[in-house]
Structure 1
Amino acid sequence: MLAAVGAVAAWFSPTRSGSAVGVVFAYLCACVAIVVMHRARAQAAPAPSVDDTDADVILVAYASQTGSAEQLAAQTRRVLEAAGARVRLAPLGLLKREDLVAHARAFFLVSTTGEGDPPDHVAPFVRRAMQADPHTGDLHPGDRHLAALRYAVLALGDRTYANYCAFGHRLAGWLNHRGAQPLFDTIEVDNGDVTALRRWQTQLATLLGSDVDTSWAPLADSIWTLDERMLLNPGSAGAPAYHVELRPRDAATLDWQAGDIAEIQPRLPTQQVARWLERHALDGAARVQTDDGVTTFADALATRQLPGEDEASDHCAANTANTANTANTANTANTANTANTANTTRNLSPQTWIDTLAPLARRSYSIASLPDDGRLELLIRQARPDDPSAADGYRLGVASGWLTAHAARGDEVTLRVRVNRAFHAPPDDRPMILIGNGTGLAGLRAHLKQRARDGRGRNWLIFGERSAAHDAFYREEIAAWHAQRVLERVDFVWSRDGGERRYVQHALRALADTLREWVDAGASIYVCGSLQGMAPDVHRALLDIVGQESFDALIADGRYRRDVY
């Protein structure tokens, strides 16, 4: 056993030679039984403490806003331990620069939130260790104290937002500037992209001299049924908001906590798929193979990103180039006329389309209910991006349009629940201040349901929307919680009622003295709602009210938590 650990540790030393990879690989293959025993022993043993300074221990650090990076870090740890390595798993926010110096190898799995910001719990680390200036990201330009560290970064983000994966790249740049050397280039993951995650797995396997861990799979999907859908804001000046209820096919899938997130696999409307098939003269009834089994071409297309005519031409050109392996295919395709493009499209088989079209990205929604309710409830705002070609001047968002308009009651909905420990409830009866706007009430509602169920009072809700007449989501339920003293205090902020527009952050500043009293009494602050506008403005207001030192203490103690989007 010690030999196996030593072999892996030797590879991870700065003086590794090429031949050591083969030795480790051969040894691991020959000693599968020993590695399995080690895995069992490692899982049974307590995790390395935060004070562990053994340079042979590999550091796996994560910065997670909604649980994804934490989940991937745990999987990375399991892969390393299965190969016989000793691993320390820790949130980046708890580390100091001295912790990084204590390790020779480190893997960082980090998310980006807001406008290129680190997750909330990492802010103290950024100030302590990365105190930024505009050029270097550090106030100690001559300090190369991490010269002995070799590292890798997995940067999680969403390309639809500005500053995609910005914090991951900022962290990698800071590590480089401090003298650390990358094991391989930073890997970007766009919205959970499986291909990018597979590259991370492959790099780990290469470093370990082992096979890719095919058991490293995404969260399991479950099948639900659309049971109820109700418009909550008729007559509102804002976009429609719907209460959506999903019933499980299997009651065992009723398993989550307040704060967790539903990742929905959306589908395109049947009419949109039919129009696309007709335009490309393709047979929707043809049978194709997908990851979930054999189904019709039309059914499989409903979960794919369908290109338009121009995109179809590019797609066909790329596909033809790949299959024919000719140098001039791309040029030919670029100059082909419309008729040739249409003919090329028709020549692609349904299976080829399914194999090459990207799947629709999953959409994440805060869960608004508890398993005890027997259903999964969501609060969804109907996205309406501008579309001059549409009759109404807009089109519906893919996921919100499907769940609020296109799907019929009784239709199947595929989803998976992502554990979001960063927004779980406090472990005790401390007071809670719940702040949100719009559909952010969903995540706060689940917490209030849990507090009511557990008999934990001293809760304060501060909620903002447009108007009391049309946008008071769950009005009766909130009133009942207030009457039952589940809610000790409720403050509504209606931005369109009255003259000057007023938002949640304005209410916080007006209630500063009361808020400080609650914080001094040990209250936790939970914020849920829009990333643009509300979340950063509330963040600044809270910082101004309690001060930097107290604010850092709230973050360090897990008493300031956000679920923003």
Structure 2
Amino acid sequence: MGVTLEPARWLAAGFLSLAYIGLCLWYGRRAAGCSSTQAAAAEGQSWTVAYASQTGTAEALARQTAQALQRASLTVRCCPLNELNGQQLAAGGRFLLVVSTAGQGEAPDNGAGFAEMLEADDHALSGVDFAVLALGDRDYPDFCGFGRRLEARLVARGARRCFERIDMHRAEPEALANWQGRLAQLAGADEFADLPDDQFSPWRLVERRHLNPGSPGDGVYLLSFEAIRQALPRWESGDLAQILAPAEPGCPRNYSIASLPDEGGLQLLVRLRRNNDGTPGIASGWLTQDLAPGEEVALRLRPHYPFRLNGNHAGPLICIGSGVGLAGLRGHLAGRIAAGVKENWLLFGERSRAHDFYQQGELERWLAAGQLDRLDTVFSRDGEAFRYVQECLVAHAELFRSWVARGAAVYVCGSRAGMGDGVDRAIREILGADGYQCLVRGGRYCRDLF
């Protein structure tokens, strides 16, 4: 994720503690509006909880939904939306869909294939009963755009809503309470049990280093934290830290963790963001300018399942990123190198080599030691052959194809506009439609864009 939470990423900020307090569904009758045929409270009837999640929040909510249903002795399947196909839908069933909106109203990567299938297929879905929780941000013109289009398309094909779609702006507690109450009604629940919640805990800022003094861009800082009043918890590369800024205690900000637990502390790369009037962003200004070493922050760890290495921990790995997106890639590389895995290729872009080559010493040491197979850098202000990483990728198209053919996974981290979208177009061009889909469906194309 790069690190500072852009407006597009408010939808991913920390509702885990709010989402399912009190949600343990006891299976009962069907809510009004669902199919009477399928509403017969057949105790063996199963649920499918499907998610479309770019940053991991929708997935985390979906997993908690499934866990609550399982505790109520129901048969539950939890999966990415892309794992559902037309045949499964045509067979009917009960579906809870937890979906976020990526970019300018698009489906997240793990829901895009399903969205395309749903648009192309016209078969009736009269046996489907469903409900949608849509995650979004009202600051964007297409608020909850994917969730709205998903619901409309399902209804157009004959599927029945168990209740109206619930749109959730950022970490809005009212929408979460509404979702929770609707699900309780749906299941005929009259008793609830609290779910465990990962609370924020105090961490101390140990050090803050300005990494790019003199840069033509905004300042980037390396922040190092230590846990206090607890042992250092465990996390995986690709996971996130959520931090509460004092000025906005109800809106946690997500930051990619750049370090590993075995390195002894938690490190973030944070870029100072500025508003249109030049004033510092609320969270980034506090973290990079006001918070003093020795002071505490409220922080909690959040698994970022879509961006973890998962089954890609041992095969070839291509990491592509720009700016503070390096944070989300550095942990993957460090973990693999510590495990003796050397087939690592990093393509990194920023503005100026002299000022914006973060972690340069470490990356070049890894390269010299053969722990990093390739390191390609692109600096847009330096007048070199390539200005952007996607141009560099296209120039190395043949090598990229050969790595992918050997089973390489591709991880992309950084800004969506420009870099993320440009890299995606380049990969489609290099691999072709079939090769691109093979990479996606194989779980070997993972993106953390903001």
Give TM-score scaled by structure 2 length: 0.88
The CA distance in 1 between the partners of 2:85 and 2:370, in whole Å, is 42
Cα deviation, residue 501, structure 1: 6.6
The CA distance in 2 between the partners of 1:383 and 1:554, in whole Å, is 34
Cα deviation, residue 212, structure 1: 6.5
What corresponds to 1:165 in structure 2?
Answer: 144
SS at match of 1:121: helix
What corresponds to 1:86 in structure 2?
Answer: 75
- How many residues are aligned here? 422
Rate the CA distance shift 1:426–1:78 in 2: closer, same or farther, 3 A: closer
Pairing partner for 2:263 from 373, 385, 394? 373
Pairing partner for 2:95 from 81, 88, 106? 106
What corresponds to 2:18 in structure 1?
Answer: none
The CA distance in 1 between the partners of 2:141 and 2:226, in whole Å, is 36
Counterpart amino acid of residue 36 in structure 2: T
Cα deviation, residue 524, structure 1: 0.3
Runs of 5+ in structure 1 lacking a partner?
1-6, 25-37, 39-53, 132-138, 269-302, 305-358, 388-393
Contact 1:58 1:88 in 2 (8 A): yes
SS at match of 1:255: coil
Contact 2:232 2:265 in 1 (8 A): no
Once the two structures are superposed, what CA deviation does each residue of 1:85-120 show, in whole Å capped at 9, x if it has no partner?
Answer: 322222111110111223332110111111211111
Which segment is superposed worse, 259-268 or 471-480? 259-268
What corresponds to 1:454 in structure 2?
Answer: 339
Contact 1:69 1:156 in 2 (8 A): yes
The CA distance in 1 between the partners of 2:279 and 2:147, in whole Å, is 34
Which segment is superposed worse, 459-468 or 248-257? 248-257
What corresponds to 1:233 in structure 2?
Answer: 212
SS at match of 1:532: helix
Once the two structures are superposed, what CA deviation does each residue of 1:391-417 show, in whole Å capped at 9, x if it has no partner?
Answer: xxx111111111100111111111111
Rate the CA distance shift 1:458–1:426 in 2: closer, same or farther, 3 A: farther
1:109-148 equivalences in 2 (<5 Å): 109-131=98-120, 140=122, 143=123, 145-148=124-127
Contact 1:157 1:164 in 2 (8 A): yes
The CA distance in 2 between the partners of 1:214 and 1:373, in whole Å, is 38
The CA distance in 2 between the partners of 1:367 and 1:499, in whole Å, is 31
What corresponds to 2:7 in structure 1?
Answer: none
The CA distance in 2 between the partners of 1:17 and 1:471, in whole Å, is 59
What corresponds to 2:298 in structure 1?
Answer: 414
What corresponds to 1:45 in structure 2?
Answer: none
The CA distance in 2 between the partners of 1:106 and 1:372, in whole Å, is 40
- Aligned: 1:395 with 2:285: no
Which segment is superposed worse, 118-127 or 67-76? 118-127
The CA distance in 2 between the partners of 1:526 and 1:558, in whole Å, is 10
What corresponds to 2:272 in structure 1?
Answer: 382
Once the two structures are superposed, what CA deviation does each residue of 1:435-473 show, in whole Å capped at 9, x if it has no partner?
Answer: 000000001111111011111111000000001111110
Cα deviation, residue 60, structure 1: 1.2
Cα deviation, residue 560, structure 1: 0.3
Contact 2:35 2:160 in 1 (8 A): no
1:240-259 equivalences in 2 (<5 Å): 240-259=219-238
Counterpart amino acid of residue 382 in structure 1: L
Pairing partner for 1:72 from 36, 58, 61? 61
The CA distance in 1 between the partners of 2:173 and 2:119, in whole Å, is 31
What corresponds to 1:187 in structure 2?
Answer: 166
Q: Aligned-residue CA RMSD in angstroms? A: 2.3
Which segment is superposed worse, 503-512 or 76-85? 76-85
SS at match of 2:231: helix
- Of structures 1 and 2, the larger Rg is shown by 1
Rate the CA distance shift 1:442–1:529 in 2: closer, same or farther, 3 A: same
The CA distance in 1 between the partners of 2:338 and 2:229, in whole Å, is 24
Once the two structures are superposed, what CA deviation does each residue of 1:224-265 show, in whole Å capped at 9, x if it has no partner?
Answer: 001100000010000000000111014434211000011111
Contact 1:267 1:398 in 2 (8 A): no
1:292-303 equivalences in 2 (<5 Å): 303=248
Runs of 5+ in structure 2 lacking a partner?
1-25
Cα deviation, residue 508, structure 1: 0.8
Once the two structures are superposed, what CA deviation does each residue of 1:297-350 show, in whole Å capped at 9, x if it has no partner?
Answer: xxxxxx45xxxxxxxxxxxxxxxxxxxxxxxxxxxxxxxxxxxxxxxxxxxxxx
The CA distance in 2 between the partners of 1:368 and 1:265, in whole Å, is 19
1:438-477 equivalences in 2 (<5 Å): 438-477=323-362
Cα deviation, residue 10, structure 1: 6.1
Cα deviation, residue 195, structure 1: 2.4
SS at match of 1:108: strand
Counterpart amino acid of residue 168 in structure 1: G
Cα deviation, residue 217, structure 1: 6.1
The CA distance in 1 between the partners of 2:38 and 2:106, in whole Å, is 38
Rate the CA distance shift 1:218–1:155 in 2: closer, same or farther, 3 A: farther
Rate the CA distance shift 1:484–1:426 in 2: closer, same or farther, 3 A: farther
User: More strand per residue: 1 or 2?
Assistant: 2
What corresponds to 1:51 in structure 2?
Answer: none
Counterpart amino acid of residue 413 in structure 2: C
Contact 1:241 1:439 in 2 (8 A): yes
Cα deviation, residue 16, structure 1: 7.3
Give TM-score scaled by structure 1 length: 0.71
Cα deviation, residue 548, structure 1: 0.8
- Aligned: 1:519 with 2:438: no
SS at match of 1:236: coil
Counterpart amino acid of residue 155 in structure 2: N
Once the two structures are superposed, what CA deviation does each residue of 1:275-297 show, in whole Å capped at 9, x if it has no partner?
Answer: xxxxxxxxxxxxxxxxxxxxxxx
SS at match of 1:234: coil
Pairing partner for 1:174 from 153, 156, 159? 153
Counterpart amino acid of residue 69 in structure 1: A
The CA distance in 2 between the partners of 1:482 and 1:251, in whole Å, is 36
The CA distance in 1 between the partners of 2:205 and 2:224, in whole Å, is 6
Counterpart amino acid of residue 404 in structure 1: T
Counterpart amino acid of residue 237 in structure 1: P
User: More helix per residue: 1 or 2?
Assistant: 1
SS at match of 1:445: helix
What corresponds to 1:488 in structure 2?
Answer: 373
Rate the CA distance shift 1:252–1:102 in 2: closer, same or farther, 3 A: farther
SS at match of 2:67: helix
Contact 1:57 1:103 in 2 (8 A): no
Contact 2:29 2:186 in 1 (8 A): no
Rate the CA distance shift 1:211–1:375 in 2: closer, same or farther, 3 A: farther
- Aligned: 1:425 with 2:309: yes
Cα deviation, residue 532, structure 1: 1.3
SS at match of 1:252: coil
Cα deviation, residue 17, structure 1: 11
Report % sequence identity. Answer: 43
The CA distance in 2 between the partners of 1:14 and 1:184, in whole Å, is 12
1:336-375 equivalences in 2 (<5 Å): 359=250, 361-375=251-265
The CA distance in 2 between the partners of 1:176 and 1:253, in whole Å, is 48
Rate the CA distance shift 1:546–1:16 in 2: closer, same or farther, 3 A: closer
Pairing partner for 2:35 from 3, 14, 25? 14
Cα deviation, residue 221, structure 1: 1.2
Cα deviation, residue 482, structure 1: 0.6
What corresponds to 1:58 in structure 2?
Answer: 47
State the structure with bigger RCO (CA 8 A, min sep 6), 1 or 2: 2
Cα deviation, residue 476, structure 1: 0.3
Contact 1:61 1:73 in 2 (8 A): yes
